[in-house]
Structure 1
Amino acid sequence: MLNNPSKTGVGIVSISKSGELALAMASFLPNVKATAWINGNIANVLFPLHYKDIVFPPLPVSAEGIIVKDSGILDIRDALLDCMEEENRASVIPIERASCNFLFIVSEDDRNWNSVYYAEQASKILKAHGKTNYEVVTYPKAGHFLEIPYMPHYPSGIHAAVGQAVAFGGEPKAHAVAQVDTWKRLLEFFKKHL
């Protein structure tokens, strides 16, 4: 028997590309009760996302937003066009439909994409729809992959979708501290809402 039947449901942890998938699940599936989004996007990227008769087109990419560092590593943080521009709004996941709680975890030195901007936009969307079911946590010097504590920090690596070395950002110590704090926050978040 459950201690508190009102807290039953599914929780989702997402990072990077899985962020928009988690937001889509939270927006359309009623059993999702808690969604943790780590350095993700609020718009669909790379390929069309289908749900029943709805199709979210991928957010367009602009080569002009790519910076090649002296090392040859690409900084792709600003490669995606602005999802909030009218011509790109069809790519944005309708998170205002969701009834779950959100935890947006953001690294300010994410060089994979502009996670700070996407979290800000998610907050604005939810607030504009009268929602208070979200929290945003930021880490100033952390990079893109905030994984479980004590995983090695890697400031760059081969990006599967790009096929080249890209910058992920972050300073090793700050990134490690952020991973430990993120893990604690995730456990507290899911314990509270599930």
Structure 2
Amino acid sequence: MAKLMAAPLSALVDEPVHIQVTGLAPFQVVCLQASLKDEKENMFVSKAYYKASETGQVDLERDPSLGGDYMGVHPMGLFWSLKPEKLLSRLAKKDVNIPYQVHIELSEPHFPIKGIVVSPPMDSLTLERWYVAPGVTRIPVKEGRLRGALFLPPGEGPFPGIIDLFGSTGGLIEFRASLLASHGFAALALAYWGYDDLPSYLDKVDLEYFEEGAEFLLRHPKVLGPGVGVVSVCRGAEIGLSMAINLKQIKATVLINGPNFVTSDPHVYHGQVNHPVPCNIEYVITNAFGFAEFYRAYEETADKDSKYCFPIEKAQGHFLFVVGEDDKNLNSKVHAHQATAQLIRSGKKNWTLLSYPGAGHLIEPPYAPLCSASRIPYVIPSIYWGGEAVQHAAAQEHSWKEIQKFLREHLLPDVSSQL
């Protein structure tokens, strides 16, 4: 009798799962299908076809998928190839204290044709995919102007502190901060618009607000000083770079597909104003799917001596640039090369660049499915983020390890003793 197995059955979402099948006929072809529902009841589904060995076994760590949503040997392909049944849905966890339930089915190969009755699955199981490790604590933050959620690892600490920033979707996004806490960081998911009593839209970026966030972290008895790190993406990375230049508390900054200039709303710090770059709206592309590609909208910044670029050489901390070379929202490869060139010209060696061919804009923790297009507030039409599924998945897996390594290296006093 065919038996579907997976280990571990319950794990963090960034941990791999080993999936195997036994009890098949020699060289039998089977279909493996994964499905989950998000908190909005949107269904995400993937499938792949495998041929059993001569002993009737399938092992996803060894055997290639013959077809379906991916081909080749990809042990976690069923997870990162999940696709929404409702177009433009992005899999983004809201309540990190509740795991995703991923249902895996083993069945005979079939093609969905109306009126054809499909035989029931040969076997199935359900996996729990968590965003918080056991013992991680979530503390709502509503102190002064600050709004967010602080995630603390189990134990007394002190732990390296991180401010986690997302971009133009607004609100409070916690899934990356909760995972960072699960790996030993005190992580503050910091909202800055579109949440609670914060502004419903941005008309300026007040860097003093983010400085308050850094000071809040450093006051906490479980946070290790003397500085903190920033993990940021897109518009958040624009702010993260500005923070690194202006705030002495920032010692290590991860910039995922961000610009090296102000895009739309002025940055203000103690009366100093950094104005946005002109946006060349005529260069915005509407692609064959009807989605907007913004990556050419700031071509005035492409000159290496552009007056619009942040003075990154003034920053005292270290930088990790994470670039998806197929980013269709920002020309992040050009922006990162501009920024590192400025550092080189200033004799600085305080940076690392990770550049991934085929990766899109939304580089997230490992095994998250590629979101190539979605809606964001106030933007019509929907935005095309880019990315090819296999390359994007590889970029997520590699960069997540490098991000944690970078943060430990620059926020822990003796990283060798922590490894």
TM-score between the two structures when normalised by the length of structure 2: 0.43
1: distance between equivalents of 2:346 and 2:259? 19
Query: Match for residue 45 of structure 1?
Result: 263
- The alignment covers a number of residue pairs equal to 190
Give how far 1:193 is off: 0.5
Aligned position for 2:281: 63
Higher share of residues assigned strand: 2
Point out the structure with the larger helix share: 1
Measured in 1, the distance between the counterparts of 2:378 and 2:299 equals 17
Q: Deviations over 1:72-125 (max 9, x none)?
A: 111211012322559962x42221110101101101000001000000000111
Task: Say which SS state the counterpart of residue 300 (structure 2) adopts.
Answer: coil
Unpaired runs of 5+ in structure 2? 1-156, 159-223, 412-419
Q: In the alignment, which residue of structure 2 is the partner of 1:14?
A: 232
Partner Cα distance (1:101, 1:7) in 2: 16
Which residue is 1:172 aligned to?
Answer: 389
**Cα deviation, residue 45, structure 1:** 0.9
* Structure 2 equivalent of residue 152 of structure 1: 369
**Alpha-carbon shift at residue 163 of structure 1 (Å):** 3.0
Tell me the alpha carbon deviations over residues 30-79 of structure 1, each in whole angstroms, 9 at most, x when there is no partner. 12110110100000111111111211111111122111112211121101
Does 1 or 2 have the higher relative contact order (CA < 8 Å, sep 6+)?
1
Runs of 4 or more consecutive aligned structure 1 residues displaced over 3 Å after TM superposition:
84-88
1:59–1:81 Cα contact (<8 Å) kept: no
Q: SS of the residue aligned with 2:299?
A: coil
Contact 1:60–1:81 (Cα < 8 Å) also in 2: no
Task: After superposing the two structures, state which structure 1 stretch, 80-89 or 103-112, moved more.
Answer: 80-89
Q: Which structure 2 residues correspond to residues 81-160 of structure 1 after superposition, within 5 A?
A: 81-83=299-301, 85=303, 89=307, 91-160=308-377
Q: Is 2:257 the counterpart of 1:32?
A: no
Larger Rg: 2
Q: Does 1:184 align with 2:389?
A: no
Alignment check: 8 A CA contact 2:260 2:309 kept: yes
* Long gaps (5+) in structure 1: none
Change (3 A) 1:138 1:86: closer
- Aligned to 1:37, the other structure's residue is in SS state strand
Measure, in 1, the Cα distance between the counterparts of 2:305 and 2:227.
Answer: 35
1:137 partner letter? L
- Are the structure 2 counterparts of residues 104 and 86 from structure 1 closer, same or farther at C-alpha, using a change threshold of 3 Å? closer
Q: TM-score, normalised by structure 1?
A: 0.90
Which of 158-167 and 136-145 deviates more?
158-167
Instruction: Kindly provide the CA deviation profile for residues 124-175 of structure 1, in whole angstroms up to 9, marking residues without a partner as x.
Output: 1111111000011100000001011122211111233533212100011111
CA RMSD of aligned residues (A): 2.1
Is the CA contact 1:77–1:114 (under 8 Å) kept in the aligned structure 2?
A: yes
Which AA in structure 2 matches 1:80? Answer: Y
- The answer to whether the Cα contact below 8 Å between 2:290 and 2:381 also exists between their aligned partners in 1 is no
Residue 8 of structure 1 deviates from its aligned partner by 3.7
Instruction: Give the structure 1 partner of residue 196 of structure 2.
Output: none
The answer as to whether partners of 2:241 and 2:260 remain within 8 angstroms in 1 is yes
